[in-house]
Structure 1
Amino acid sequence: MLMLRDYPVNSGLAAAAGALRIPFSDIAKYAALGVSVTLLLLAISLLLWQTYRCCTQGRVRRDTVGGNLFADGYSTTSSNYSEEQTKMADMGAEARRRGRCPVPGSFPSSEGATGQLKEQAHQQKVHGSLCFSLYHDQTQSRLVVSVLQAEGLRGRSDTRSLHPFVGLRLLWTEPEDERAERFVNEEAEGKACAMSTVLQEWHTRIVKNSCNPLFGDQFSCSLRQEADLQHITLRMEVKDFDKFSRHVILGEVRVPVGDLKILYPLELQEDLQAPRKDLVGQVLLSLKFLPTAQRLEVGLLKIQTLLKETRSNIALYSRICVQCNQCKLRHQKTSAVVQCQMTVFNQVFMFPLPECPVEDCNIVVSVYETNASGKFKNLIGRLTVGKDRTSEDLHWSLMMRSVCQPIARWHPLLI
């Protein structure tokens, strides 16, 4: 009797199980399975491709940064170097053979430095002219400069109005015989580039919202010797004022004072030319890159400047800044050292690079002069070292190939 009661229950469960079948045809099931398998294969392919890229980029970076790690006694698996890499390795060996301390004359010769200065001129066309007057007062041994007006100025942006002013620098260039005597024991090849020093520096008033400003400012300075007039160049830069001190140079006028007869006031009007830099010194820098610690070591060793007269109350200090993609990461200052013809610092600074690759960095060194009390500072010159700089690319390449070893080279100081 018990078996007769259970039989209808089992029959109902079997009927319910048959009703729970998936309501899709076999074609739809196989299509869904095919799509799933395709997506799985695609995901595996992307994963393998990303792994391959990561491995190849890591290998290229190790070859670029640490390619010289195994140069002293060990052999690497990749022995096919390009001609450029072989050349850099030879130059690095030559620098190590000389003790990594080149003589001051080892930075570019006169022709090379002149080409570098011309490369830094603005490629944009310059518009406008400047009217000024010069007068040499022999009775008082004074040079008088008057800035009268500027005409036809044009800025880089047509939407922004101009606020022009004129910055004047009186540059004294060393005589040729003194330059040859000073470098006779320092340079074996080529000849040294002419070096200048700033005697006086002035600024006119700012004329707002004008493309044809009237200045009417007069400046004067005393000359101790009549012979100084033959080595003086007047450099006048027309600038567009910016309240954040990012003044834009619209053009410049250079006048060799010794070539003019200025016993009487002489009025001149000259067209503006593309601005270029002047060599005011040279700096011996030492660079070392530590890839494991991701740090950059910058050493300021020596600064050579041209001194027309000895001043015991003037000192030099430098501001070293590391930039990455035009953004300042960090800056450090050296201590002030009394200025002489060859000012010795021998100070080393560490710059950590936590998130920025060293290939995208630039080093900017600004040299200032100050007095004993530190109440004033005046910019002497500035230099930039980086991979994207053609003139300093050799020093940067030597640093990257000689990892964990300091490489010292001279660099021109420009203003």
Structure 2
Amino acid sequence: MCSAFENTSFRYLSLQIYLPFSDTLKYCLLALAIALFLAALIILACKMHQYYSYKSASTLKDKKLIGGSNAEKKTEGNILVKSLSPDFLEVARREQDSKIQHMQKEMEKLEVHLKPSPPSTESLDDLGSDSDRPQGPRGKLKFNLYYNRKAATLMLNVIEATDLPEYSRDPFVRVRVFSKADEPQSEVQSVIHECETRVVKNSRNPIFDEDFSFSLRDYPLSNSSLKLEVKDFDKYSRHTLIGEIRITLKDLKVSESLEFNEDLQDKTKDIIGEVLISLKCLPTAQKIEVGILKFKTSSSSIIKDRDVYARIDVFSNQHKQKHQKSSLRAKSKVTVFNETFLFSLPDPGKTHCLILISLYETLSTGKKLIGQTTLGNQKAQFKDSHWDLMMQTLRQPVADWHPLYI
């Protein structure tokens, strides 16, 4: 026990020999360490204060830049301009002037060739299909018709098309059966049946040989007609109309098969309803208000469980504005929308404007065009009384019925 105590005492004495520091020096070193630690804390606090001050100042500066006036922006621009050398500014101004002159010359060249586009009631799917094709023979379409009186069924066999134009590559036939309203003076029709043949690839003399059956039990044969449109299929763009044939079914002999081989004719329009449109001109705001109020069609064209909506396209001075759509409405004999839409119209008295109203119905496979109508002042030879009345009663809505074409 004594030897262990002696060993511990010896080690303590040896440690005192290897660390010959006085207590005063030890306390001085401790005080220095504490002072350095406090200095580090003070420096860290200063840096944190600078960081948060800089962050708040930059946020305030961004707000001022966003909400600042044009005068402040010009002042800052002038400061930047003054900081640049005169030689550099002179070179930059010369380059900018030369670019502006070049752009003006190009604009003048374009204005010579640009002409106002005529108004059109073409479908958005068929727009430009007829006007941009060379006029000439369109070819022929061969088909058979047979009407079964007992079953009140019309049988159609689309056989073939021959001698189609050179631009026709992938033709097909769209078939529509129309029924006219019972009102004697009304021109409104309804599409009671619609179908298409298959597409024949790379042929100017396509053979279809397809049969279709249409029930006419609820529609008088005297008020019905058949329309066959030969179109060129385009997967990525609009289908091109080649020509059409129209057959009035009242002249069709009952219970006798008839064969037709008719020349394809130009596109014709059918009125399938009316749409009530309101117009209001706001000259101070340089805007025009287009209202879609009601859509009216014949009772025979009512299809349940389908919704309809309107699309408005406005073209002003050859510039197409972003279209707008109405909300969905349940299709009925009279569909009420009561929605208005605003479009820009600078200088309404001089601006050429075309408004295209398109009505669509929704299907499980997508959408289907019901019909379209146009109004505006784009062509001087075709006066639009509705547009003229709007210009005479500024800031007041004016409503009128317009026929809907297909």
* TM-score, with length taken from structure 1: 0.60
Cα 1:326–1:397 shift into 2, 3 Å: same
Structure number with greater Rg is 2
What pairs up with 1:122-271 in 2 under 5 angstroms? 124-154=135-165, 160=167, 162-175=169-182, 179-180=183-184, 192-225=185-218, 228-271=220-263
CA distance in 2, matches of 1:172, 1:407: 32
1:397 match: secondary structure: helix
Q: Which residue of 1 aligns with 2:61?
A: none
Cα 1:310–1:254 shift into 2, 3 Å: closer
Q: Which residue of 2 aligns with 1:380?
A: 370
Q: Which residue of 2 aligns with 1:295?
A: 287
CA distance in 1, matches of 2:362, 2:348: 33
Deviation at residue 127 of structure 1 after TM alignment: 2.5
1:359 match: secondary structure: coil
CA distance in 1, matches of 2:197, 2:365: 23
Cα 1:361–1:300 shift into 2, 3 Å: same
- Alignment check: 8 A CA contact 1:126 1:250 kept: no
Deviation at residue 255 of structure 1 after TM alignment: 0.5
Cα 1:335–1:358 shift into 2, 3 Å: farther
Deviation sequence 1:148-198 (CA, Å, 0-9, x none): 11112225xxxx4532211111001123xxx15xxxxxxxxxxx4411000
Q: Which residue of 1 aligns with 2:108?
A: none
- Alignment check: 8 A CA contact 2:178 2:192 kept: yes
1:224 match: secondary structure: coil
Please, what is the CA RMSD of the aligned residues?
2.7
What pairs up with 1:58-137 in 2 under 5 angstroms? 124-137=135-148
The partner residue of 2:324 within 332, 356, 371 is 332
Cα 1:147–1:344 shift into 2, 3 Å: same
Aligned pairs, number: 274
Deviation at residue 299 of structure 1 after TM alignment: 0.4
Matched AA of 1:393: D
- Alignment check: 8 A CA contact 2:172 2:200 kept: yes
Deviation sequence 1:298-319 (CA, Å, 0-9, x none): 0011111112165442332111
The partner residue of 1:359 within 328, 351, 354 is 351
Deviation at residue 403 of structure 1 after TM alignment: 2.4
CA distance in 1, matches of 2:172, 2:344: 40
Matched AA of 1:150: A
- Alignment check: 8 A CA contact 2:317 2:351 kept: no
Matched AA of 1:142: T
- Alignment check: 8 A CA contact 1:126 1:251 kept: no
CA distance in 1, matches of 2:260, 2:254: 11
Q: Tell me if 1:286 matches 2:297.
A: no
Cα 1:315–1:392 shift into 2, 3 Å: farther
2:292 match: secondary structure: strand
1:330 match: secondary structure: coil
Deviation sequence 1:325-365 (CA, Å, 0-9, x none): 55531111112222332222211111235799972331111
Q: Percent identity?
A: 43
Q: Tell me if 1:398 matches 2:374.
A: no
2:220 match: secondary structure: helix
Q: Which residue of 2 aligns with 1:323?
A: 315
Q: Which residue of 1 aligns with 2:266?
A: 274
Q: Tell me if 1:414 matches 2:396.
A: no
- Alignment check: 8 A CA contact 1:289 1:405 kept: yes
Deviation at residue 138 of structure 1 after TM alignment: 4.0
Q: Which residue of 2 aligns with 1:94?
A: none
Structure with greater contact order relative to length (CA < 8 Å, sep ≥ 6):
1
- Alignment check: 8 A CA contact 1:279 1:412 kept: yes
- Alignment check: 8 A CA contact 1:369 1:377 kept: yes
1:212 match: secondary structure: coil
1:242 match: secondary structure: coil
Deviation at residue 139 of structure 1 after TM alignment: 4.8
Deviation sequence 1:81-114 (CA, Å, 0-9, x none): xxxxxxxxxxxxxxxxxxxxxxxxxxxxxxxxxx
CA distance in 2, matches of 1:276, 1:152: 21
- Alignment check: 8 A CA contact 1:134 1:262 kept: no
Deviation at residue 247 of structure 1 after TM alignment: 2.0
Deviation at residue 251 of structure 1 after TM alignment: 1.3
Deviation at residue 262 of structure 1 after TM alignment: 4.5
CA distance in 1, matches of 2:235, 2:139: 23
Deviation at residue 296 of structure 1 after TM alignment: 1.6
2:385 match: secondary structure: helix
Cα 1:138–1:274 shift into 2, 3 Å: same
Matched AA of 2:274: Q
Deviation at residue 285 of structure 1 after TM alignment: 0.8
* TM-score, with length taken from structure 2: 0.61
Task: After superposing the two structures, state which structure 1 stretch, 378-387 or 320-329, moved more.
Answer: 320-329
Cα 1:309–1:293 shift into 2, 3 Å: closer
